Structure formats: structure tokens, C-alpha cells
Structure 1
């Protein structure tokens, strides 16, 4: 187990509003399969004790378009979601790319509130905010992003009291 100093919000880079899950497979199971194909692998002690069906998933939480929150890795288990920032972090993945359903926003706000209460010193950011500061000005700007993930400005979302902007919301399409 490690000290939690960062909570990183991601997107799955999938069609906005479209569920990954089907009757046989959850969104976390789909992402687990993708991560297996990329060579990710969880440590045996953690897999045996927490989410044993997800042997490769890099995220700690996955939020599907219907608002379902699935647990992937255990809190404190080193993730595989933000290269160079996996130790001591929690990875949250929203299904979609840059617009999310109202159910996802509500689930994210609840999860956020729970995690910041438990880990008040943790910095909350988007994956894109971990891009290199190429010009050294102390700010990561859009021209420096290596990814758009999670497709919205986490700082703005926090400043707006966890309310998404209209342009960040989409309808769920089953």
C-alpha cells in the first residue's frame, strides 16, 4: 500500500454516451481486456484479494455511461494509468472521450467527494494535466498536452462546485 497523493481522472477514448458493457461483460471487463492486450498486469496478491476477475485493469475505478461505478484496482495498489505518476495515485476512468452523461457526472461527483474526504492532501487532476511543461512556465497548456484525456478541465469542474459545463454533457445511447 502506498500514500495517496494524486487522483487522476481519465477518459476511455470511446464514443460519447455509448456503453462499453453488454449483457455478458461490464465496462471494467472491456477495459481489462484492452489493458491485457497492452501488456498490463496486476500483482498476484492484489488480484487474489480484490477484483479477481480483473487481472490487468490499470484504473482503480471505471464509470460507465449509466453511472455505474466499478472497482478495478484496490486503493493503494499501484495503478497503470498515468506513466510516471502511478505510485501513490488513484485512477478514475469515464467511458467516453469529451462528453459524459448526467449519470456519469453525478457518479463522479460522489466518488470525488468520498475520495477527497479520505485523501484531503491528494491533488485532483486530469491525465492531460500530467503532460510535460515544455516551456517551463509552471502551467500545462493545451499546446503542451500529450493527450486530451479526460476531455474536460478538471480545475474548472472543481471551481464550478462539481457541475459540468453544458458542452461536457451528452445523452446516453445504449
Structure 2
């Protein structure tokens, strides 16, 4: 599978309420889906939980699932420093493996969405600029 996109999402749960990959798996299963659609979930304390295995195509940003990695931040529109540090490390590790992959928010692929409710492209540009210093 050629990864061309790393897509950041949010769980759209109340800010500050912990949610796990297991919770999201259950919610997605209850919708009749094939379980959790994201490959990773970043919890409030910055812990990164595994979601869908990497060998299994994600189900998070149709029609881009085949060539993308889905990362879900717990919360709606307020993400703490622990989460953002964890997200940065995770994305940096994937960019090392897939250097040509774009880093995007779900809303960049689907204008009807606001998820993850921040400008992922601008955030990533800031990360890249810091790493060049």
C-alpha cells in the first residue's frame, strides 16, 4: 500500500472527556462498520493507542482510505500539549517512512467536515519549520 496522506481527525467528543480506541471501535461497530476506522487514537494524556492495524485499509476519509493513515485526537476542538506532542512524534515517524505523504486534516479532504477543527496544514508547517532550526 502506497501511503500518500496522513489524515488528522478528532473524536468529536466533549473536550476533556477521555475516550479510548476501544470506545471508538465500539461506536463504529454499532454503526454497522468494520470496527474502528482510524489507525491511531491520541488520548488526553498523550498516550497513542493502536486502532486498525496498518496492514488493514483505514475507514476514515472516503474516498482516500486506500492510501492514507488515519490519526484521531480525542476531543472536539481543544487539544492539550501532551496530545499535540504525541501527534507531532507520530506524524514525524510516519513522514520518515513515507516522506512524500501529505499531512492534512479531514476537513482538507471533505469541505463538508470541520474535523479536526484546527488548521493541520499550518500546524504541520510550524512543526517542519521548528525541525529545520
Q: Which ranges of 4 or more aligned residues in structure 1 deviate by more than 2 Å?
A: none
Instruction: Give the alignment's TM-score, normalised by structure 2.
Output: 0.92
Give secondary structure in 2 for the equivalent of 1:17.
Answer: coil
Larger radius of gyration: 1
Q: Does 1:99 align with 2:92?
A: no
Q: Decide whether the 8 Å contact of 1:4 with 1:76 is kept in 2.
A: no
Counterparts of 1:150 and 1:59, CA distance in 2: 13
Aligned position for 1:149: 115
Write 1 or 2 for the structure with the bigger share of helix: 2
Aligned position for 1:47: none
Deviation at 1:102, TM superposition (A): 1.0
Instruction: Give the alignment's TM-score, normalised by structure 1.
Output: 0.71
Aligned position for 1:82: 61
Q: Does 1:14 align with 2:7?
A: no
Deviation at 1:84, TM superposition (A): 0.6
Aligned position for 1:158: 124
Aligned position for 1:36: 29
Q: Does 1:120 align with 2:99?
A: yes
1:28-77 CA deviation, whole Å, 9 max, x = no partner?
Answer: 00000010011111xxxxxxxxxxxxxx1110000011111011112242
Give secondary structure in 2 for the equivalent of 1:15.
Answer: coil
Distance 1:32 1:96, change over 3 A: same
Counterparts of 1:154 and 1:38, CA distance in 2: 27
The alignment covers a number of residue pairs equal to 129
Q: Decide whether the 8 Å contact of 2:4 with 2:101 is kept in 1.
A: yes
- Give the root-mean-square deviation of aligned CA atoms: 1.4
Aligned position for 2:44: 65
1:9-39 CA deviation, whole Å, 9 max, x = no partner?
Answer: 000001112212xxxxxx0000000100111
- Which consecutive residues of structure 2, in runs of 5 or more, have no partner in the other structure? none
